[in-house]
Amino acid sequence: MQIGKKIKRLRIKKGLTQEELGERTDLSKGFISQLERDLNSPSIETLFSLLEVLGSKPKDFFDDDKNQRVVYLEDEQTVYVDEEKNYQIRWLVPESNDKEMEPVLVTFHDKGEFKQFEPSLSETFMYVIKGKVRLVLGSQEFTAKEGQSLYFEASDQHQLTNNHNQQSEVIIVATHSYL
């Protein structure tokens, strides 16, 4: 088991620097760095202190990820249709709200538009499977057609619309922002 790698993953997930984790556990940044590179091992007391700050129970920390779910079936996906705005959204991973990323498939019909999103700390990736879309990001506009992708930090208001007189399909993967 690579304890350091797991500590680093939890620290990053929590949004802490090595220095911040050290301050909260009375450990030096150098010691945290050595732990994360598996150059040093923590005492049981130090490990439990780290896990408490990182929000992990010891049992969860030591459980292997062998039960990690990898394949998701089509009949497990949730679909929402907005007839007023002329689009359909399909959540591709059922528990994606509990994950770092949320992958969805958005299908736009003629003149379809996705809701407008407020600024956040999220990063968003979009891949156009079919058709052509327009992204309004703050005061800028971008278009992408089939086979092209968009990638942006969602620090401005943004909205995606169909820029095609036929159906357009887009895979969107957005990270969850923790404000």
pTM, two decimals, is 0.65
Token pair 């999103």 in the structure block, residue: 117
Which residues lie closer than 8 Å to 36 by C-beta, 6 or more apart?
4, 5, 7, 8, 11, 18
What CATH number matches the domain at 74-175, 2.60.120.10, 3.50.50.60, 3.30.2010.30, 2.40.37.10? Answer: 2.60.120.10
pLDDT per residue rounded down to tens, the chain (179 residues) = 688 888 998 998 888 999 999 999 999 999 999 999 989 989 999 999 999 999 988 888 887 656 677 898 999 999 999 999 999 999 998 876 667 889 999 999 999 999 899 998 889 999 999 999 999 999 999 999 999 999 999 999 999 999 989 999 999 999 876 44
**DSSP conformation class of 176:** P
Rounded Cα gap, residues 88 and 107, in angstroms = 5
In this prediction, residue 162 carries a pLDDT of: 96
In this prediction, residue 65 carries a pLDDT of: 58
In this prediction, residue 179 carries a pLDDT of: 40
CATH of domain 3-67: 1.10.260.40
Domain edges within the chain = 3-67, 74-175
